[in-house]
Structure 1
Amino acid sequence: MSTNADPQPPRLHELPASAYHRITSSLRALARNTLFARAVAEQDAPGQVFAYPAESPAVVYVIHDYGMSLLYGSTGLAGVDEQLLAEVVRRPRCAAEWLQVAPAVWAERLREPAVERYTRVNFRFSPQAYAACRPSPAAAGVRIVRADRSAFAMPGSVVPRLFWRDAERFLATGGGFGAIVDGELASLAFVSFVGDAALEIGIETLPHHRGRGLARLACAALIDECLARGREPVWACRLENTASHRLAESLGFTAAHHFPYFRLPSTAC
């Protein structure tokens, strides 16, 4: 009888925050918008980082607390990548998770019946197109103001408190602009993620103020500030999110890249 212990199957190891630097260069090298994953790796936003092997990651899995994730890399070992992918898909989660993968071979391997496939769109910004379609100044009764601490607590599903650790970091590193109507913050365009020379835009409009063009006005103020600071405004959304897609196009963005986007279902917690 063999005295050797059975070899442990390959698995992803959660990295402590002090080890996040191990994935920085590989994450930056990906040819796509990975600002949400960088926000976790650079500790601007809460989340988790897993890797295999832990000391010298070949496969990395980053989860942002908002419910977005990224799986990238490859071991190059027959069967190992498939086992790691299965671990990601079957991992317990209390809410649905939106997964991006790189390289494309991960998408070909992901055939679980419970996993829904969508498309993620990364947009390209054109200053010239924006100049031609920039909205007129706000109508009477609408004020465009810089985001303050109250904006951090705005209710909604795409709001700063879901993307930043705290209000102080949001205001110091991110910020944004809001449309005020009758003393209420009706719409907010804010920096959801920050890159080296890029700022990704997040938008929320209260339900009873939608359809009035307020998000476009708030976004224009944020884009103006990006351009004044020499930063690139970044936009991304699901292809199926037609409202976001149309808003982007009305502000000088055009669809540039399409990627598979997977909805991993929630499980019992």
Structure 2
Amino acid sequence: MKVLGKEQYNKLSEPLKSVTTNNLFARSVVEKIVDGEIYVDDADNPATYFIVHPYGMSLLFGDPNNAAFNEAFKKYALNENGNRHRVEWMQVFPSDWDAVLADLLHDNLVEPAYQHTSSDTIELNVRVNFKLNKEKYLNAKREYETVDPNISIVRTDKDIFEAMKGTVVPLHFWNNADDFVNKGVAFSLFYNGKLASTAFSAYVHDDKLELGIETYEDFKGKGLACKACSALIDYCLENGYEPVWACRKDNVGSYLLAQKLGFENVKEISYYRMGFV
């Protein structure tokens, strides 16, 4: 595995188009919207690629039959050099990689345990790709569109961006507030004057906008995430964007919220969880 210099990221533009699963996070790295990392088998003529997004998502794709690259990747996956300090979630393409990894990782590949972050085991999970059913969305929207005087929804500005805390917030998907305000979009819901939930564009490429959502613990269970997401979905529909939703299948909250908003499960793919200690 060789680190690819940023000046050569354009070499992945065409190969990445072959990936038919959700690859927006990988495009954000390749197009230098965020500062990630790219590894390849050969810097001059790459055929196998590994893209790491700073949020902790990665994509392994290209030729799965490169023995030297695969052995180097195994060391990375098991964190033998100790460079990974957080959990990383990896997608692969094509699906041929699943058999290659099963053979490569052997006993290190396990069913989900959810609790440990050991670097000597890789958990095989499932990631769901959704597609919005516009009719379902509009019907569902009527059910939670009631006016609540305690709620106000505003376009997220730089001040709100910088004040947001949490795990799934724009800060983890954009380099800085200025980049986000200029290239992204979000809607923040305030409940009794307090920031309760924000739906934001994690990635925007061409006519696709992938949604992220953060609702603070004190405000969960009030249906606020639906309202915040609805504002962003409406923005997408009004401005010619396809709203994109994807999540881990065992992320029950995100999975159910997607369905409630009219998204339908259209594809399930392998999702590898790599630990760090």
User: Which residue is 2:129 aligned to?
Assistant: 122
If you compute each CA radius of gyration, which structure gives the higher value, 1 or 2?
A: 1
**Partner amino acid for 1:97?**
E
SS at match of 1:155: coil
Q: Runs ≥4 in structure 1, deviation > 3 angstroms?
A: none
User: Which residue is 1:16 aligned to?
Assistant: 5
SS at match of 2:17: helix
Deviations 1:147-187 (A, max 9, x none): 11133231100000010001111111111101111221110
SS at match of 2:49: strand
Normalising by structure 2, report the TM-score: 0.88
SS at match of 1:95: coil
SS at match of 2:198: strand
Task: Note the C-alpha offset of 1:138.
Answer: 4.1
Number of aligned pairs?
Answer: 255
**Partner amino acid for 1:34?**
N
User: Which residue is 1:247 aligned to?
Assistant: 257
Deviations 1:183-214 (A, max 9, x none): 21110000001121100000001110111011
**Partner amino acid for 2:53?**
H
Residue from 82, 91, 109 that aligns with 1:100: 91
Residue from 131, 151, 156 that aligns with 2:138: 131
SS at match of 1:234: strand
The 8 Å contact of residues 35 and 195 in structure 1, kept in 2 or not, is answered as: yes
Q: How does 1:165-204 map to 2 (within 5 A)?
A: 165-204=175-214
User: Which residue is 2:113 aligned to?
Assistant: none
SS at match of 1:139: coil
SS at match of 1:110: helix
**Cα distance in 2 between the residues matched to 1:75 and 1:228:** 41
**Cα distance in 2 between the residues matched to 1:116 and 1:229:** 39
User: Which residue is 1:208 aligned to?
Assistant: 218
User: Which residue is 2:111 aligned to?
Assistant: none
**Partner amino acid for 1:106?**
W
SS at match of 1:71: strand
The 8 Å contact of residues 74 and 81 in structure 1, kept in 2 or not, is answered as: no
User: Which residue is 2:167 aligned to?
Assistant: 157
SS at match of 2:214: strand
**Cα distance in 1 between the residues matched to 2:100 and 2:265:** 26
**Cα distance in 1 between the residues matched to 2:7 and 2:261:** 39
The 8 Å contact of residues 58 and 75 in structure 1, kept in 2 or not, is answered as: no
Q: Alpha carbons of 1:170 and 1:65: their partners in 2 closer, same or farther (altered >3 Å)?
A: same
**Cα distance in 1 between the residues matched to 2:123 and 2:101:** 10
Deviations 1:104-131 (A, max 9, x none): 1222232432101110000011111111
Structure 1 unaligned segments of length 5 or more: list them: 1-11
The 8 Å contact of residues 187 and 214 in structure 1, kept in 2 or not, is answered as: yes
Q: Alpha carbons of 1:107 and 1:138: their partners in 2 closer, same or farther (altered >3 Å)?
A: farther
Greater Cα offset, 235-244 or 149-158: 149-158
Greater Cα offset, 213-222 or 99-108: 99-108
> 2:92 aligned with 1:110, yes or no?
no
Task: Note the C-alpha offset of 1:17.
Answer: 1.3
**Partner amino acid for 1:33?**
N
**Cα distance in 1 between the residues matched to 2:69 and 2:41:** 10
User: Which residue is 1:35 aligned to?
Assistant: 24
Greater Cα offset, 25-34 or 201-210: 25-34
Over the matched positions of the two proteins, sequence identity in percent amounts to 37
SS at match of 2:167: coil
Task: Note the C-alpha offset of 1:75.
Answer: 6.0
User: Which residue is 2:78 aligned to?
Assistant: 90
**Cα distance in 1 between the residues matched to 2:73 and 2:5:** 21
**Cα distance in 2 between the residues matched to 1:138 and 1:246:** 23
**Partner amino acid for 1:36?**
F
**Partner amino acid for 1:221?**
A
Task: Note the C-alpha offset of 1:51.
Answer: 1.1
Normalising by structure 1, report the TM-score: 0.91
User: Which residue is 2:46 aligned to?
Assistant: 57
Deviations 1:20-69 (A, max 9, x none): 10001111221111000101111111211111111121011000111100
Structure 2 unaligned segments of length 5 or more: list them: 109-120
The 8 Å contact of residues 177 and 218 in structure 1, kept in 2 or not, is answered as: yes
